Amino acid sequence: MDFRILTSANVERGAPALWNLLNAVFHADWRDDFDSARKALEADLSQYGSPDKQLVHEEAAELLANDLTDSQVEHFLELSGADLWIESELHMSGRAFARLIFDLTEDAA
């Protein structure tokens, strides 16, 4: 994926597993069901099979491997359409959130 060209369509095409995860987990009502983003991710990822979890892991790894700033990673995550404010709500950087996804899917690697 070309991380220099970040549009919603490019993110959906370039990282479909991350796109699907973020949109499935962080819908408008996710805060009613979970008290943290980590718990929401863990609950959803527990239903993933190894191949799907592996794809998420690979896409998170690619995102982390690129020399992107925190704000570029946050922009990538915002373009997914997920109802989530990384820094103000979760009190972590975009790269830290991508790392959380990477770590939560590491068992599939």
List per-residue pLDDT tens for the chain, 109 residues long. 666 777 888 888 889 999 999 999 998 889 999 998 999 999 999 999 999 999 999 999 998 998 888 888 888 888 888 888 777 777 888 899 999 999 999 987 6
Q: What is the model's pLDDT at position 97?
A: 92
Q: What is the model's pLDDT at position 78?
A: 84
Q: What is the model's pLDDT at position 1?
A: 67
Sign of CA dihedral 63, 40, 96, 23: positive
Three-class SS of 42-76: HHHHCCCCHHHHHHHHHHHHHHHHCCCCHHHHHHH
